[in-house]
Amino acid sequence: MEIASANHEKSGPITRGLAWLEIMLGKFKAKVIEVARKTKTVGQEDPRRIIHSLKVGLAITLVSLFYYFEPLYDGFGVSAMWAVLTVVVVFEFTVGATLGRGLNRGLATLLAGALGFGAHHLASLSGEKGEPILLGLFVFLLAAAVTFVRFFPRMKARYDYGLLIFILTFCLISVSGYRDDEVLDMAQRRLSTILIGSATSVLICIFIRPVWAGDILHNLVANNMEKLGIFLEGFSAEYFKTSEDGQSNHDKSFLKGYKRVLSSKNSEKSMANLARWEPCHGRFRFRHPWKQYLEIGTLTRQCAYKIEALNSYLNSEIQMPIKMRSKIQDPCTKIISEAGQTLNELANAIKTMTRPSSVDSHIENSKTAADNLKALLHTGLFEETDLLEIIPAAAVASLLIHIVTCTEKISEAVQELASLAHFKSVEQTVTVPEQPQIVHQVTEQPFSSNAEPHHVITVDESSTGSPENENEPVLKTG
């Protein structure tokens, strides 16, 4: 018994240790599987992320050659590291962002380097005692002035990174020149390596599977309008229960798409600022009216706010009575249908960069339906009705009327974009209704003046609508 007890005491810690190790291995395995799953999800959501990562790796590898090859390193020395650092901070996901950062960094380094060298030269003329005082004064004035300029909205939106690099480079050149006499050579090598790093990033970003900020903005604005149109198409069946089985749809994912429109303001502004840096590409010409996309986006969000309020009445505790709902159903469904078609056609017009053809007719139909709804509300429809039952009906009707106004404003903004961006015109195909009867008259002329009166042969094709007589015209002689 004592031997068995001793063996149990010895095996106890070992068993617990193995169990703990097994648990830790299980947790590690689960963590690895989770990371792999998330990595796969990120790559599948946007395969361009994988390509962007490979492009950044290629750019850094190329500029690293300045360190790997002796002749290149002898020409630039330690300053070659600035090329690597430039690629790291300049290379962005879109072409516009990379171009903006590259140009900002290059121009800021060039201007700040020249000013820094000039400040160092002027300070050195004042003698040994006056040089640090003048250098400190130059640094204070320039850093304070440029930092204040960064608060201007336009400068902050487009040139904030360049202004920051300007302060950094000026301080490095002017201040370090106080202790280093080779300040000009240092500035020249640093500027060269920064330009090389920026050029490498821009070239790889443009010529290897480029991602254009203009394309992202263009599709984002169109998709936002399309989401609103999809909501309106499904709202009618959901609210008035007009589906085939009279019941609401179980899949209500289409009712949530508009929520992304509400939070798209920052993305649109960011993409518009980046798109202005990009050259003409694809369907977009030089100086494409990117600012107009922001106007359309603002109007689309205003419409989305109305739709959000409209959506709140789907699951409201106080619902409109079915009898009252049926009275306003026709004009409401007409408004919803025409407004939804308007938004969908405008979205398609932006995607294909063609002028919308039948939007005006949809808008006129929706305005007519809105007028009919207003007239219906003014006929004493809600007399002798509980006030709590009137509120949802009046609110839904008011929101639909406001949505008609919003879609009209969006249409005007899209028409202006089509004019500024020179969208292609698409000719409308007019369908000619088939005539019920086509009669051909063939006149048989007499051979001489003494001949008998001529005969008229009538070919009657009125029976061509029948499949049996499709190729059998009836001949009548008179």
Predicted confidence band at 342 (pLDDT cuts at 50, 70, 90)?
A: very high
pLDDT mean over 32-61:
92
Q: What single-letter DSSP state applies at residue 281?
A: B
pLDDT of residue 295: 96
Show the tokens assigned to 13: 């810690």
- Give domain limits for the chain: 2-43, 50-207, 229-420, 439-477
**One-letter-per-residue 3-state SS of 246-277:** CCCCCCCHHHCCCHHHHCCHHHHHHHHHHHCC
The most confident of the ranges 361-375, 376-390, 445-459 is 361-375
51-59, Cβ contacts within 8 angstroms, sequence gap of 24 or more: 51/208, 51/209, 52/93, 52/211, 55/91, 55/204, 55/205, 55/208, 55/209, 56/87, 56/91, 58/204, 58/208, 59/87, 59/91, 59/200, 59/201, 59/204
How far is residue 153's CA from residue 159's CA, in Å, rounded to a whole number? Answer: 10
How far is residue 58's CA from residue 358's CA, in Å, rounded to a whole number? Answer: 49
Bridge partners of residue 354, in order along the sequence: 424
Contact present, 335 and 369 (Cβ < 8 Å): yes
Helices (H), 276-386: 290-311, 322-327, 329-352, 359-377
H-helix or E-strand spanning residue 442: strand 439-443
Q: What pTM was estimated for this model as a whole?
A: 0.79
pLDDT of residue 265: 93
Check pLDDT > 70 for residue 385: no
pLDDT of residue 454: 44
Predicted confidence band at 181 (pLDDT cuts at 50, 70, 90)?
A: low
Average pLDDT, the chain: 81
Check pLDDT > 60 for residue 273: yes
The most confident of the ranges 38-47, 341-350, 381-390, 462-471 is 341-350
Contact present, 199 and 83 (Cβ < 8 Å): no
How many CB atoms sit inside 10 A of residue 121's CB? Answer: 13
pLDDT of residue 449: 39
Nearest Cα residue to 438 out of 417, 420, 422, 459 = 459
pLDDT of residue 173: 82
Check pLDDT > 60 for residue 25: yes
pLDDT of residue 418: 94
Q: Which are the contacts of 369, defined by CB distance < 8 A and separation ≥ 6?
A: 331, 334, 335, 338, 404
Q: Which residue has the higher pLDDT, 313 or 159?
A: 159
The most confident of the ranges 70-74, 276-280, 453-457 is 276-280
Kindly report the backbone phi and psi dihedral angles of residue 431, in degrees, each rounded to the nearest multiple of 5, phi listed first: -85, 120
H-helix or E-strand spanning residue 71: helix 70-76
Check pLDDT > 70 for residue 467: no
Check pLDDT > 60 for residue 438: no
Say how far residue 348 (Cα) sits from the centre of its chain. Answer: 14
How far is residue 303's CA from residue 299's CA, in Å, rounded to a whole number? Answer: 6
Predicted confidence band at 272 (pLDDT cuts at 50, 70, 90)?
A: very high
pLDDT mean over 24-52:
91
Q: Which CATH number fits domain 229-420: 2.40.360, 1.25.40, 1.20.58, 1.20.120?
A: 1.20.58
pLDDT mean over 75-95:
88
Nearest Cα residue to 329 out of 240, 421, 257, 251 = 240
Check pLDDT > 80 for residue 452: no
Percentage with pLDDT > 90 across the chain: 45
pLDDT mean over 383-403:
80
Check pLDDT > 70 for residue 326: yes
How far is residue 407's CA from residue 410's CA, in Å, rounded to a whole number? Answer: 5
Q: Which are the contacts of 475, defined by CB distance < 8 A and separation ≥ 6?
A: 457, 458, 459, 460
pLDDT mean over 100-121:
89
pLDDT of residue 433: 44
The most confident of the ranges 53-62, 127-136, 378-387, 458-467 is 53-62
For the chain, the maximum distance between any two Cα atoms, rounded to a whole number of angstroms, is 150
pLDDT in tens, 119-160: 888 888 888 788 888 888 999 999 999 999 999 998 998 899
